[in-house]
A and B are shown apart, each in its own frame.
Chain A
């Protein structure tokens, strides 16, 4: 008995060690996929969605600076690092887009790489306009570079963004790849794989770029006009992501459908549209599409610098029914209206007539987009304050109308800073009633992203958010 027991014991012990290695080889997550299972076709839809998230993130709180909305402490210029764009941009958008570019170029799928470069150029331009210096050439290098240094804004503008967008334009016109599975850009939420539309978008991004850089080199205005001419020709071309009832526009859940509205439209946009400020007596038919008022005859908005609740009389809000914050609303990134206003602004000095036509086209496009009736559009466009005629057209007319057309887009903040909040260009624009930056300057830039100090040792100095960025410092 004892001997048998001993033998059994040893046998059991030995048996149970046989399967040792396979027993331990269980460290592979069955719930996620690995690098070799990833394709450009599965990366692209995520990259597009995350681009929209990043662009929304830039606007989410940031549109208090161009005074579309107000009510948060950020509107009083308390430190803000634009984390809502920083986070999706650097951990989702750039990695996805760069991986598409790398994989597509290796397979000769320049249709995919072209699309990815359009999006990357646009995102990097948004980022550098917000932060100034941004990590780019050292970004997304994983563990090989844990402390990515920042590329100066000047290099972003003079080297990296033009490279990306020029390559995009070139690659989108190359022959399609051989491989049948790659010939069609699939899972493209924006243009359904239509490369002609992507090419227009590419020219549109370059038009925006040339307009920005014309701050430094006015001769680039001509390039902006030329690019704009090759860009969008109707609202149907807009670079935007349209949401669904299931996956809703982020403005919908953030403000539209929320009961607790943490931000509300500001007096600058509201009064511009309700006929009480820049356009006395002229009711903008877009106003009810832009915001809802408890009293449709009287729109009372948040004074920039006021917090939500400070003035109990405020009665305007974004709701689930207002156009931009509906669940199925598109998130607009680059629109036909903007292209028209780029034409108008860029030709204001060189060709006033063309500028005037583009100005009117931009207004019409903007109104049509949100569904203003044709008759109302015509009535608005024939009002003497709008129909100034080419000779009487002023820069402020273009910029105010662009301001209205680009509602809730962070691009407007760049416009305002290009003109350094000039009240000649933006009549009636005033600083928030409370300004937390020492010396009370206009807000010029983002703070360093909140996550960065403590994790990155290669940071630029940002003394405060009142320091003018390279692009706007002329």
Chain B
């Protein structure tokens, strides 16, 4: 059985008399040491999906249906005390903006030691040793001195390294990273991605990487899940999905990348934008923006299916022309 199994997850947010549903029956799983990428535009529900694993949906939002099985226990049924044993301990999280995640008035060392002592019976001295080791592991130069630094004394890349070190402190089996490099420069992004990939491989840690950057996902993950308007529209091995996308939305995302277009020509774009939760179109939610839309698409919500490992939620999946990634400007 997979380490993490999410089944039929539904999340809703009551809003006055209405209830907005952010996730509609999302299923996915993650094996030990596996790396999964969740892709989609803002508002696709990728962060909600990841947050609900750790039961971090802020009230009045709630998980209304479905289960999150971690090592056989359903995390949605745990009380707060039991959840704290998992959260930040067995499953850690890395957020987008390291300046918002770190406490600005505490030194790096204090924050790391505090985190360890919250989860383990451990002396301050031992906690300090582990913290320094972890800082070394994420390649922070002169780790001992950095323990005394405050977050503002570090650059963006260094801060994100510290956040990764904190996530690794308790030797978690899964790390959830929500857009970990979006706030960073391209060069630093490459360094952080190399680092995260190496750490996950060496420690056999599972990774759920949430991003809207398909290029990053294609380099780091083994499996990919594309979300649109609270549903999974495509899922499969990263190479297959990237090289040979089956859903018109995935296709559009890949074709919109500047590197996939002829320099100087108009970029392929997906017209329109993600619908808001209270105005999701009937039938396939993507139909107003889809280039292959026809009458059938307005009738029923297409299920996620397919013969091989690559699953696609589109009724026309057999008729959509596939393209080869190596040819530019298709």
Q: Is the pairing of A and B real?
A: no
Residue positions of A touching B, CB distance < 8 A: none
